[in-house]
Chains A and B, each alone.
Chain A
């Protein structure tokens, strides 16, 4: 089956190539239809990107008419001079690795639990997916109130069940702020992999499970030898998107901790924003943005390749 699906795009591509070679003005019609989208793309995506790349080689406050060329100094500063940028990079890496494992594992577990025909199952699916629909700023504010050490739900519940020794200023404490923020991220993002895995699970033919059961495979073996391989393509999409989105984290950190306490929860996204828009270091902020973009692009390669092949 896989061979068939792969052969189709190849023949399509070769036909398209031969048509292009023999193109007459009349055959350019499809390109006229593509032109508006292409112009839009060049104007609002490519041009701003190249513009920010250009700015990243300058020292500029974002307001003055003149800029000072500094070459690669802004990039050097990120890796060798700016303690906060390095801390933010480390935080990004921790956040990304954790995002790769925890929300996706929970998403898979939920998908497995909800992949059955039961009365009211759609309600449960909706409940678990719902946090993913909420704006992250709203999520951040709600969880900030829940974490409030004076009247928040979390400490109130801990006190009520006799675990008051665990009560603390979750977002004020240097040791817990990052983890507490990440927990919110898990809550907000677990629904998306769940939906993708649910779709993937429903694409695995039931014959495979029946055959495995006839061969005496137990539940774990069926999961390991049938379900996981059957979700191979879904894994690529889920994990790639998890990594890409995790590395771009901004909203939750900005809303919940503002990068604090101190600088403890700064990530590259917030640090780029602070530099560009609050410290009037547009050149340096652009350099941080490009470092982020390059890292995300590298991580996006498996996803892009997979999607291109499909």
Chain B
């Protein structure tokens, strides 16, 4: 863990000098070193505005959804929760809500008028059982990033239907380039492709019912989706043997020009630059599904306040500060994916991120990635079936039957 102690210590000394009682706010995140340095001026600004508060930034850097929730859970189980913490949406946040470990923030929504501050779909996406337990701060969308130079070299236009996507892959294969690259090690990267197939074949309504387990997975459109996945593998449109490639390593073929596309989110422009790559030959498109409106995979990230927080009013005040458009426009770097209305990144510096902002804030129709619709336990069954299809161990028809069996087993275990 890392602590931003410099200004905290200075503030503490100043307060001791005045004999005042400091209000500590433990701000728990998964920020990496770069994010920490981006956030420091924001926290300093809050400190200046609220000299009686000490904001202590704690982070489990780069741990992802596999580790971060464990650390958070341990702190809660030990009776020492932070005052404000970062969390993803959907079923990653679900266990904390269901266990009564986080506050219903409806009174603060009313007090601060957050409904008007935030992009509407993000608030809908974090609502659970009709209540809002979090405050969205990032709105993330995903689509096909592609190499514009490779598309141009082979005379490829951005596809507008799924059939055209397949044609792109055929053209690229003839040119000796793989259509797309994925890293299957944790399952969630190729899941994005399967999610796209499910949205395309099953349609928005049924896709949502499948995600809620209200419809059976053992049905024709699911079989077709698994068949499409298998086709992409068998046709060599995807980089081979990718089941144990990490999603980070999967970027390499895109950078080297061995693959032309990857499904990534609005963060990818920053990620590619961080990997030392130019982004001048990158662009993205929202995958065409053949349904109107076209839905794309998107999810919010949120701030939450633990039920055991010592001073929830101070926590809410702090959240109000960091989601306000004034603060975010003054310090744009940490807020390139902001869920706050009226906040956009520097479009000259971050053209793709800026373009994503337009999509995210204007297109309300979204579907959640399955790993935020399912609990981790059920999700690993989903990944198991998906890996079986990719490897050829499980034929698509059997995969649909197996997925439904896994869903029923999971439901039975929860009763």
Contact = CB atoms under 8 A, between A and B. Distances in A.
Interface of A: 61-65, 144-145, 147-151, 168-174, 177, 256-258, 260-263, 274, 277-281
Given A64-B99, A260-B185, 9 more contacts: A63-B76, A150-B241, A150-B258, A168-B241, A172-B242, A261-B243, A261-B391, A262-B383, A279-B377
Nearest to B76: A63
A34 B271 CA distance: 55
Contacts of B185: 257-258, 260
B388 interface: yes
Contacts of A174: 391, 393
B149 interface: no
A157 B208 CA distance: 47
Interface stretch (B2-10, B209-217, B245-253, B355-363): B245-253
B243 A260 contact: yes
Contacts of B95: 61, 63, 280
Contact of A150 (B99, B186, B253, B377): B253
Nearest to A180: B244
Contacts of A169: 240-244
Given A172-B242, A260-B243, A63 B391 contact: no
A261 B244 contact: yes
22 contacts: A61-B95, A63-B77, A63-B96, A64-B98, A145-B249, A147-B244, A148-B245, A149-B245, A150-B252, A168-B241, A169-B241, A171-B244, A172-B391, A174-B391, A177-B244, A260-B244, A277-B70, A278-B376, A279-B375, A280-B95, A280-B375, A280-B377
Nearest to B386: A262
Instruction: Please indicate which of the listed interface residues B239, B240, B244 has the most CB atoms of chain A within 10 Å of its own CB.
Output: B244
Nearest to A147: B244
A148 B391 contact: no
A interface SS class: loop
B101 A63 contact: yes
Contact of B240 (A149, A151, A278, A281): A149
Interface residues of B, number: 37
A277 B388 CA distance: 25
Max chain B CB contacts within 10 Å: which of A62, A278, A281? A278
B288 interface: no
A156 to B, nearest CB: 14
A171 B242 CA distance: 9
A202 B156 CA distance: 71
B387 interface: yes
B380 interface: yes
B243 A172 contact: yes
A169 B244 CA distance: 8
B44 interface: no
B184 interface: yes
Interface in B75-97: 76-77, 95-96
A62 B387 contact: no
Interface in B301-348: none
B388 A262 contact: yes
Contacts of B240: 149, 169
B384 interface: yes
The 5 closest A-B pairs by CB, nearest first: A169-B241, A172-B243, A63-B99, A171-B244, A279-B377
Residue with the greatest number of chain B CB neighbours at <10 A, chosen from A148, A263, A279: A279
Interface in B38-88: 66, 70, 73, 76-77
Contacts of B186: 258
